[in-house]
Each structure stands twice: as C-alpha cells, then as structure tokens.
Structure 1
Amino acid sequence: MQLPDMNLLVALDALLDEGSVVGAARRMNLSPAAMSRTLTRIREAVGDPILVRAGRGLVPTPKALQLQGQVRNVVEQAALLFRSADQVDLSTLRRRFSVRANDFFIGVYGGRLFDTMERMAPLCELCFVPEGDTDDEALREGRLDLRVSNTMPASPEVKVQNLFSTTFVGLAREDHPLFDEEITAARFASYSHISISRRGIARGPIDTALNAQGLERRVALIAPGFHGAMFMLPDSDLLLPVPKEALLSANRLKLPLRAFALPISLPTLVLAQSWHPRFDKDPAHRWLRETMRESCHATWLEAQPA
C-alpha cells in the first residue's frame, strides 16, 4: 500500500488552522502559488474541495471539519516521533504556540514572554487568542497550547501550574475628587465604576464586599478588557479596579492616572497556566511552560513596590 505524502498532511493541517491559502503559505514558508498547487493535490487525494469560497474568504467543507482533529493528531504524533525525547533545537524550531489569556495578562506579561521567545526561538510564532468557553476542549484537541486564567479547568486530566498571585487596586484620573478626602468604602461606592467582563457581567467580588457593609456601587460601564478601559479614565470620574501589575502599563504609557488602595477586602487571585497531558513530554512545549513561568516571575517582581 502506498503511503500518503506526509507533507500534504502538514499542509492540510496549516490550511484548516489558518482558513487561508496565504496564511498557510506564510506558516510553511511557501509562496501562495505553491500552497495553492498543494491544495489542489490535497483535494485530489481526499476527493473533497476542503476549502470553498465564501465571499472574500474560504470556509471548510463538512468533510474538512471532520478531518481536522484527525489530521492535527497525526501531524503532532509524527512530529513527536522524529523529535528528540529530551532536547529541541530552538534556533531551528518552527512552531506556533497558541496561548489563551485576557488582555491584562497580554499587556503586562506578554511583552517579556515574547522577547524571550524571540531571542531563543526566533522562527516560532506566539499567538494570543481571546478567552473562550471551551478551553478544556481546545486544550484536548491541541488548538491551545496553554491557558492562563484564575479559574481552574473543568477537566480533571488537564495539568495546572501556578504562575503568580495578584491583588486589586483602584485607578482614577490624577485630579479625581475621590482624592480630596480619605478614601472610605462609602466614598468609593459613591462614584460610578467600570466593570471588566467579556461576558457583560457587572457584579462580582467588589459588590459582595460592599454589600456586606450595606453599600452598593453603580457600574456605569462594562468593558471587555482592562487596557482599553484605562484610556477612558482621564476624561471621566469613573473608577476602575485593576490587578496591581496593570500599573506597569499605566506608568509606561504615562497616562494621567493615580492608583489607590481599595477600602474593601478582596480575595487574592492566583493565575495559573494549564495544558493537556498530551504535551507533557513534548520538549518544545516544556520549554514554553518553563519560559512562561520564568517570564511571569520576572515581571511580577518588577511590579512589586520598592
């Protein structure tokens, strides 16, 4: 029996992941014309169009969606077969690492992580993807390499490693009237707040703490990310609770903002990275996890008060 061309499987994996001939060509260091010819060969081998035109883009056929998980598994297993069990040549490694994290983590911790990867593995790509509701499934299927979050994964087989802990502080414009007097819980609750939630949820631990004192705040604005919300503060009387490391971003951008200690008690958040055990022995993935931990620790130390 004639075995299929392994390069076609690698190309098919790239095409299905990118959903684009141009994107797949860029990942495989081919010209778009060469990738288009490869797609033609794949179509002939599979007996299916794989990707069809929809407006200005391409969408996968039902057959392609059915094959996607199988193709990804075969490509990963083949890569592991030919890869050293204990070592990886980072200088020649070509791989995209997908990390799911929120904008706070990307903005504060992502820079040092990327800088380290750029120096040690210059041919690799770091792809941050938005938070989703099916993280465990994405880890299991290999669509995600790492998930960074303060919530535990639902699947018991997913491995978890703590990265750092953080607490919240408040942010407001530097001449905000809140700073005219002592910042009490009552005065804190009297101003309108920004709540950060990608699901549009207004209430959280802050409201629980205020309610315990018979107080209630008004959430006037809900935003999906901390960094976008920070740019709204200089022109308003809004208050924004943020993880304390976000002050690094505010200071680097020289935003006219002032931080303050929250007059309520909130639980400490622990952020962790999680991954599926299928990648536990993968040397490149192990390097990614170690780099993530070391980069986070260095940034966390930088953010601590002198």
Structure 2
Amino acid sequence: MQLDLNLLAALDALLEEGSVTAAAERLHVTAPAMSRSLGRLRRTTGDQILVRTGRTMTPTPYAIAVREQVHELLQQVRGVLAPSRDLDLTTLERTFTLRWHDSLVALAGPALLAAVRAQAPGVRLRFLAESSTDTPELRRGEVDLEANASRPTAPDVRAEQVAETRHVVAVRRGHPLTRVGTVTAARYAAAEHLTVSRRGRLGNALDEALARLGLTRRVVAAAPTEAAAFAFVRGTDLVVTVPESTARAAAADLELLPLPLELPPARVYLLWHQRYDTDRAHLWLRQLARTALATAD
C-alpha cells in the first residue's frame, strides 16, 4: 500500500474537528476535497471514521481509539521534515496568542511584553480574555500559551507551576473588620462576601474550609474578574478573598487583612500543547513568561 501523508493530515483534522467542513477550513482545502479524503480513509481503514447523528458527525470507536496516535504521528512527521534552524531573535517575525487569567495579564503582562520587545522586536503578543467555558484552542494550536490557576486534564497539554501566593481578604478602608482587632474565622464568615468566578460560581474552596470549622458565609454576588470585584468592594461592606499578589498590584486603595483560615496557596500554572515542546521560539517565550510570572509582585 502506498502511503499518502496528506491522508494522515486529513485524518488528524477530521478527528480533531469532527466535521468535514471545519476540517477543510483547517487545512485550507475545499469541502468536496475533504469529503473525497474521508472516502479514501474509509476505504483504506475499512472503518467509517465519522458517522452522521442528526446534524452532527460522531467518531466511531476506532476513530476515538487512534485519535491521539494519529496526532502524535503527524507531529513526528512534521518534526522530521522541518529543517532545524538556530533561533535568531533579531529577525524573528511571529505572533503569539496567550490566554491568561485577567489578573495575570495585569500583573505580569507588561514585564513580558517589555522583555519580548527588547529581544525580538518583530514578535507580537495577543492576550485573549479567558472564556466562561472550557475551550479547545490550546489543543488546536490557536492559543500558544495559557496561564491560570488550573492544572489541565488532557494528557497532551503540558503544565508547569511557576508561582504561588497566599490568599488575603480585601475590604474598603474603614470597613468594620478593620476596627475589631484580630479578624477571627467567625467574624470573617459573618461578613457578606463576593466570589470571583468567570463561570459565575457562588461557592469555592473557602466554603469547604469554613464548613470544617462549623461555619458558613453568605455570598451575595459573583464577579467575573478581580478588577470587577474590587469595584464592588470599594463602595460597600462586602469582602472578597483573592491572591495577595493580585490585590497588592491592583487594589492599593483597599485594606488587606490576613485570611483566618487554612487554605492552600493560589498557584499559577503555565500551559502549552505538547506540539510546542521543542519549538525554539516557543521555548524562548515560555522562559520569558516563566520569569515574568514568577517575579510579579
């Protein structure tokens, strides 16, 4: 059997996208051409690969079983065929897309951009806002680098912890909690709270920690970002619990109180797809991002 590497690329796109039209757009070919490739794949493998279920197409058990293997094989082929070049930062022309938590953009984004511009003036950075739902852009190569507080579950996504900080309680100046001396867990729980959640969640690990002490709190609202939460706190007696590094950088006009609970530190992870493990420009960017995030204060 004669091997056609174009079929491997087509199979990878079809399995990633689950759609003939989307796979065609990804490989910059026409939908009829992709349909013909799907037909050849079906004849070659003896499997339907994708079957129609209503308005969508569903991968067969065989397709699901080989999805990761196909992707890895394609990356290996591309690695073999791509010439190895030394990285010349002074002539590098590339745009990197970064999806970072909003507080991390404010905290470390300026330092990262300054370092990039100093070393590679032809490189541009696109910072994207986090989505309220989990998105596949990292695995699809549409996002180069993520930075947030969550470890990935996908085996093909790399993660490295680059920083951590304790949590503090942010309140307005003159807040009742600032006049009671030591803030106990009971006094903390009795206050009215905000949560910070891009998904609008009203509960988090704080509630579990309070429950272990036999305490509960009243959460009156959820804000999508720390910056929005600070705006609520400035004019009310609400309290919000946030990473200390974020609060010190973005809420200098607020009072920061120790959290009277045992809570794991807020961790920052750098995430990327394994396709970029040996990409020299990506390695360079990861190192700069690692430094910017680790030294942000």
Question: TM-score under structure 1 normalisation?
Answer: 0.69
Give the equivalent residue in structure 1 for 2:123.
Answer: 124
Structure 1 unaligned segments of length 5 or more: list them: 1-61
| Structure 2 counterpart SS, 1:231 | helix
Write the letter of the residue equivalent to 1:151: S
What are the Cα deviations for residues 171-202 of structure 1, in whole angstroms up to 9, with x where unaligned?
00111111111211111111111100111111
The residue that corresponds to 2:38 in the other structure is none
- Residue 27 of structure 2 corresponds to residue 70 of structure 1: yes
Instruction: Write the letter of the residue equivalent to 1:102.
Output: H
Q: CA deviation at 1:82?
A: 5.4
In the alignment, the residues of structure 2 paired with residue 161 and residue 249 of structure 1 have an alpha-carbon distance, to the nearest angstrom, of 23
**Counterpart code for 2:99:** R
Matched, 1:190 2:190: yes
Percent identical: 31
Aligned pairs for 1:73-88 (under 5 A) are 81=82, 84=85, 87-88=86-87
How far is the alpha carbon of 1:213 from its aligned partner?
Answer: 1.6
The 3-state SS of whatever aligns with 2:213 is coil
- Contact kept, 8 Å, 1:163 with 1:271, in 2: the verdict is yes
- Is contact 1:88-1:284 (8 Å) kept? yes
SS of the equivalent of 2:286 reads: helix
C-alpha contact 2:102 2:130 (8 A) present in aligned 1: no
Secondary structure of residue in 1 paired with 2:113: helix
How many aligned positions are there? 230
State the partner residue of 2:208: 208
Map 1:128-143 to 2 at 5 A. Answer: 128-132=127-131, 133-135=133-135, 137-143=136-142
Corresponding residue for 1:219? 219
1:229 aligns with 229
Post-superposition CA distance 1:133-182 (Å, at most 9, x none): 444x3222111111222222121122222211122111001111111112
SS of equivalent residue, structure 1 residue 156 = coil
Using the TM superposition, give the Cα deviation of residue 231 of structure 1 relative to its aligned residue in structure 2, in angstroms. Answer: 2.2
Residue 256 (1) aligns with residue 213 (2):
no
Task: Give the alignment of 1:225-304 within 5 angstroms.
Answer: 225-250=225-250, 255-299=252-296, 303=297
Displacement of 1:296: 1.6
Please say if residues 250 and 257 of structure 1, whose CA atoms lie closer than 8 Å, have aligned partners that are also in contact. Answer: no
Change (3 A) 1:246 1:269: closer
1:44-55 maps to which residues of 2 (within 5 A)?
Answer: none
1:154 alignment partner in structure 2: 153
State how 1:10-89 maps to structure 2 within 5 Å: 65-71=22-28, 81=82, 84=85, 87-89=86-88
- Counterpart Cα distance in 2 of 1:178 and 1:101: 32
Alignment partners' CA distance in 1, 2:194 and 2:122:
40
> Within 1, Cα distance between the matches of 2:248 and 2:231?
14
The equivalent of 2:58 in structure 1 is none
CA contact (8 A) 1:100 1:131 kept: yes
Counterpart code for 1:196: V
CA contact (8 A) 2:168 2:243 kept: yes
Equivalent pair of 1:69/1:141 in contact (CA under 8 Å) = no
Provide the aligned C-alpha RMSD in A: 2.5
Distance 1:113 1:248 in 2: 19
Instruction: Measure the CA separation in 2 of the matches of 1:248 and 1:89.
Output: 37
Task: Return the offset for 1:222.
Answer: 0.6
- TM-score by length of structure 2 reads 0.71
Distance 1:170 1:83 in 2: 51
Q: 1:246 to 1:260 in 2, by over 3 A?
A: same
Q: Distance in 2 between matches of 1:250 and 1:265?
A: 24
Q: Is the 8 A contact 1:159 1:275 kept in 2?
A: yes
1:88 CA drift (Å): 1.8
Residue 255 of structure 2 aligns to which amino acid in structure 1? R
